[in-house]
Amino acid sequence: MASEKNLKTESGISLYHPWVSFIYFAAVIAGTLLFIHPVFTVVSLCCAIFSAAMINGRKTVMATLGFGVPMFIFIALANPLFNHRGATILFYLFDNPVTKEALIYGIVSAGMMFGAVVWFTCYNTVVTSDKFIYIFGRILPSIALIVSMTLSLIPRLMAQVKIIADSQRSIGLDWKSGSLKQRIRSGARVLSILVSWALEDAVITADSMRARGYGQHKRSTFSIFRFGKKDAKMLGLVLLLFGIEIFAYISGRGTMEFYPAIVPPQIDFIDIIIYISYILLGILPAIIQIKEDLKWKQLK
């Protein structure tokens, strides 16, 4: 693996067209949330953690796990404590039955939540704001421009707040010291200056937009992304696996009965195909990444 520190925003699945990665994550996250089934949940969770290690780096994954594991335990335990459905009673806690079904259901749904969280961390690294804007720009061009403008405005305002607070402090009006009343007053001043400054800037931004012909014509939407052959191939594969997943859901092979009693599923040939394709979908980013890493090694 390459450097641990850097997020892999320029390698592996990130190098594919935004639509490919977006549909990919739509497929895995949909699968994770729809299939309440131990096999699918275990596959999804394992693949999510594995992919996150590849995409986000081991350090970030450890941080995610540090938050995810307690969440997992909490949800897994909360369900049997508050949900008393199920036929097999394990024991009584404060006169309430704790059932095997509720316990297993808790573990499965906790795994589902955990998996979804981890997949979202991968999504965040891969589908950056400009890719998101690109995708929604096709559907809602004006909204996409507003998002882009907002994203440029936020850091600017943050920088301005700092400048204002610093210069106010140097004339003795520090919102970090003095009585509460003084501090509130100083804070309000910073805000008030920020607002007038922002309004002043907004007039200029509007001029700058008009000067470059905004609002006179139907806009076109430019992007730096190109859809190539490798994108087409990968999109085909993702769509195929997504299709199988949808089939599994519709045919009911992706869900399991928990209450009143767990019925272990009868696994047939079709199920095995579904499982394999689901595993393949889950480890797709890892495969892409490993293939790329191997190539780099060969080149060395």
Partner 1 sequence: MEAVKVKNFGFDYAVGNETALRDINFTVNEGEFIVVCGPSGCGKSTLLKSLKPQLKPFGTTRGSIEFYGEDIYSLPEEKTAGEIGFVMQNPDAQIVTDKVWHELAFGLENLGVATPVIRSRVAEMANYFGIHNWFRKKTAELSGGQKQLLNLASIMLMQPKLLILDEPSSQLDPIAAREFLENVRKINLELGTTIIITEHNLEEVYGYADKVMLMEDGSIKKYLPPQEMAQYLATEEPDGMYKALPTPARMYGSVLKGECPLSIVEGRSWFSRLVDEKHPESPVLTEEERPEEKVLDISEVWFQYEKGADPVLRDLSFSVRKGEICSVLGGNGAGKTTMLSVVSQKRKYNMGKIKVNGKELSKYKGIELFEHNMAVLPQNPQSLFVFETLRRDLEEVFANTKLTKAEIEERVLSTAKKMQIDFLLDRHPYDLSGGEMQKAALAKILLLEPKLLLLDEPTKGMDALSKENMGNILRELASEGKTVLMVTHDIEFCAKYSDHCMLFFDGYIVSEGTPKKFFSENSFYTTAASRMTRHLVQNIITCEEGEKLCRSLL
Question: Which residues of this protein are in contact with partner 1, per CB under 8 A?
Answer: 129-130, 145, 148-149, 151-152, 155-156, 159-160, 163-164, 166-174, 177-178, 189, 192-193, 196-197, 200-202, 204-205, 207-224
Torsion of CA 67, 72, 78, 80, to 10 degrees: -170
The nearer residue to partner 1, 205 or 255, going by C-beta atoms, is 205
How far apart are alpha carbons 238 and 157 in whole angstroms? 41
Question: Measured from the CB atom, is 117 or 194 closer to partner 1?
Answer: 194
| CA-based nearest residue to 45, from 299, 278, 289 | 278
CB of 283 to partner 1, least distance (A): 29
| 7, two tokens | 């997020």
Please name which of 86, 29, 37 lies closest in space to residue 285, comparing C-alpha atoms.
29
What is the closest distance, in whole angstroms, from the C-beta atom of residue 99 to partner 1 in the complex?
52
What is the smallest separation between the CB atom of 46 and partner 1, expressed in angstroms?
34
Least separation, in Å, of the C-beta of 2 and partner 1?
A: 19
Q: Are 26 and 116 in contact, with CB atoms under 8 Å apart?
A: no
Of 162 and 295, which CB lies nearer to partner 1 in the complex structure? 162
* Residue closest to 135 by CA, chosen among 125, 122, 148: 148
Nearer to partner 1, 151 or 240 (CB): 151
Nearer to partner 1, 173 or 284 (CB): 173
Long-range contacts of 200-206, Cβ-Cβ distance < 8 Å, separation of 24 or more: 201/156, 205/149
Q: How far is the CB of 19 from partner 1 (least distance, A)?
A: 15
